[in-house]
Amino acid sequence: MTLDLNEQQQIRRGKLDELRAGGIEPFPTRSERSHTSAEALARFEEIEEGLEGSHDPEQITVAGRVQTLRDMGRSIFSHLEDGHGQIQIYLRKNGMLEGDITWFSDYVDRGDIIEARGSLFRTRTGEVTLEVAHWTMLSKAVSPPPEKWHGLSDVEERYRRRYVDLFSNPEVREVFRTRTRMISAVRAFLDRNEFLEVETPTLQPLYGGALARPFTTFHNELEQTLYLRIADELYLKRLIVGGFERVYEICKDFRNEGVDRNHQPEFTMLEFYIAYADYETVMALVEEMVEEVTLAVKGTTEIEFDGQTVDFKTPWRRLSLADAIFEESGIDFNQHRDQQELLAKAAEAGVKLPPDTPWPKIVDELMKEFVRPKVSQPTFLVDYPVELSPLAKRQAGSELTVERFQPMAAGIELGNGYTELNDPFDQYERFQAQVAQRDAGDDETMPIDIDYVEALMYGMPPTGGFGLGIDRLAMMLAGQRSIREVILFPAMRS
């Protein structure tokens, strides 16, 4: 690889070389910054009254990226941007130390990172500004930044050069601040509710806990195939067997599947488990958590997403999957337990599926087709067919339905939770049913995890659990319709 510089880069490179030739290091080791932009502005607001229109008697040093440059020959205005905001600086030929003004106009470009020492004052137009006595180059930018008012807008370039996207598009920085505040609020909620945050394996000898294709890798010394986790569920429940009553983990999961605006191969999941609890307890906690997190991040429980106003205020609606599908499509899947029969019903309702589509998958498709797009306000869809949920416990007295829920809002699935299956023999049979489904052509099934069944044989208390798509919730709270907009470096073909 060679570094080919375009015309503008060559000119900046030339300035860099000239600075060095003049004895000025364009990438010095350290900065002498005394104030962030925000601190400088706050300082001036504080002392302004006593100044009676004159300059701050003390000199301070600010630093940042040159965002604007208004060169008027004997005076120059510029805005420096740091991680806390912006501050305007003002250079006046008479006010400068000897030689500095020449250096500035000749060698400073937009995008350079510089620091400036001087005194604060308020300009005629009312902006708090640093009048510069001396400035220093901190890092010469060889590549010019994007246009100043459109920023970088080409989405491909924005994702591939996220650093440029971030420094030139303030609203993008805000999206990721929102995401981080959201995760902090989730942690605060769980920590306060006495959950133990834990770490379980990313590299797993057997994948499980979800229906998805895994990434496969190989450990040379162990001489064994390992999988990147598609979920951490089975490990967290082993910890419940181990005696922890409330555990959670926020981690990356990996699924070797399609990429679209709701899916990325690498995404962030929250899972938590509560011993001596069932899915009712969990739902109550989930709605409380999301309400609190939204309030913490947005200052209100209402958000705008995809043209809808969604209010996360508790309590959320509960709606059984069977009722929801029946209401929207007229199909009662419990009356059509036969695969071909349900397939025909689906076709009648306008949903064409391959003839070998497994029965549980047809139910899932009916939900996605008829129910999900209609769910605007936060809703728990509850009580799923057992075939869709091999790790969930049956409802008392029911052979067909498990205690499972999915929270949805604005047509998006936010997560998945259930009363955990703790009968080792039932669990073993469910795993076997998965194998049978795989043999029948379903390519999204779980392998048998005997070690997990053995863990259950030591006894797991009644437990409720939940998994939340962190990226999905971040999308909603940041008002972004694509998951790529809430992942700093989304997967891209190279």
Partner RNA sequence: GGCCCGAUAGCUCAGUGGUAGAGCCGCGGACUUUUAAUCCGUGGGUCCUGGGUUCGAUCCCCAGUCGGGCCA
- Of 46, 98, 352, 439, which lies in the binding site for RNA, with binding defined by CB under 7 A? 352
Q: Which is nearer to RNA, 79 or 336 (CB)?
A: 79
Residues 465 and 236: beta-carbon distance below 8 Å = yes
| Interacting residue with RNA among 32, 57, 83, 155 (CB under 7 A) | 155
Shortest approach of RNA to residue 258 CB, angstroms?
Answer: 5
Distance CA 136, CA 33 (A): 11
CB-CB contact of 432 with 448 (8 Å): yes
- Please select the residue that binds RNA; options are 24, 39, 151, 461, rule is CB under 7 A: 151
Footprint on residues 235-264 left by RNA (CB under 7 A): 258, 260-261
Pattern 121-150, RNA, x by CB under 7 A: x-xxxxx-x-------------xx-xxxxx
Minimum distance between the CB of residue 152 and RNA, rounded to whole angstroms? 5
Q: Which stretch binds RNA (CB under 7 A): 6-14, 226-234, 281-289, 330-338?
A: 6-14
The least CB distance from residue 387 to RNA, in Å, is 20
Minimal distance, residue 346 CB to RNA, in Å: 11
- Give the interface size with RNA as a residue count (CB under 7 A): 54
The alpha-helical segments, DSSP class H, found in 161-202 are: 162-168, 170-192
Sign of CA dihedral 64, 66, 71, 77: negative
Q: Confirm or reject binding of residue 348 to RNA (CB under 7 A).
A: no
Per DSSP, 193 falls in state T
- CB contact at 8 A, 235 and 226: no
Query: Quick one: 107 or 279, whose CB is closer to RNA?
Result: 107
Q: Which of residues 87-126 bind RNA (CB under 7 A)?
A: 88, 90, 92-94, 109-110, 121, 123-126
Q: Which is nearer to RNA, 93 or 177 (CB)?
A: 93
Which residue lies nearer to RNA by CB, 113 or 293? 113
122 burial (CB, 10 Å; 0-12 / 13-18 / 19+) is middle
93 versus 252: smaller Cβ distance to RNA: 93
Quote the CA–CA distance of 247 and 236 in Å, as a whole number.
Answer: 7
The SS3 of residue 462 is: coil
Least separation in angstroms between CB 21 and RNA: 16
Structure tokens at 128: 């708090």
Residue number, 246 or 372, with CB nearest to RNA: 372
Could you tell me which stretch among 68-76, 245-253, 268-276, 453-461 binds RNA (CB under 7 A)?
68-76
Closest CA to 16 of 29, 25, 7, 8: 25
Nearest distance from residue 286's CB to RNA, in Å? 27
Question: Which region, judged by CB under 7 A, interacts with RNA, from 70-78, 265-273, 410-418, 449-457?
Answer: 70-78
Q: Which residues pair with 221 in a beta bridge?
A: none
**C-beta of 137 vs 297, nearer to RNA:** 137
Cα(66)–Cα(466) distance, integer angstroms: 47
**Contact with RNA (CB under 7 A): which of 32, 58, 154, 174?**
154
Burial label for 22, CB within 10 Å (0-12, 13-18, 19+), is: exposed
DSSP letter, residue 365: H
Q: Which of 31, 36, 59, 75 is close enough to bind RNA by CB under 7 A?
A: 75
Around Cβ 450, how many Cβ atoms within 10 Å? 11
Among 130, 137, 152, 331, which residue interacts with RNA (rule: CB under 7 A)?
152
Beta carbon nearer to RNA, 143 or 300: 143
What CA–CA distance (Å, rounded) separates 98 from 80?
A: 22
Q: Which amino acid is at 468?
A: L
Instruction: Output 8 or 300, the one with its CB closest to RNA.
Output: 8
Ranges within 397-416 binding RNA (CB under 7 A): none
Tokens found for residue 492: 């891209």
Residue linked to tokens 């130390």: 97
Q: If you compute the radius of gyration of the chain from its CA atoms, what whole number of angstroms results?
A: 29
* Cα distances (angstroms) measured from residue 345 to each of 349, 352, 369, 371, 440: 6, 10, 14, 16, 21
C-alpha 395/C-alpha 99 separation (Å) is 82
Q: Pick from 6, 29, 54, 220: which binds RNA (CB under 7 A)? A: 6
| Chain residues that interact with RNA, rule: CB under 7 A | 6-8, 11, 15, 68-75, 77, 79, 88, 90, 92-94, 109-110, 121, 123-127, 129, 143-144, 146-157, 159, 258, 260-261, 352-353, 482, 484, 490, 492-493
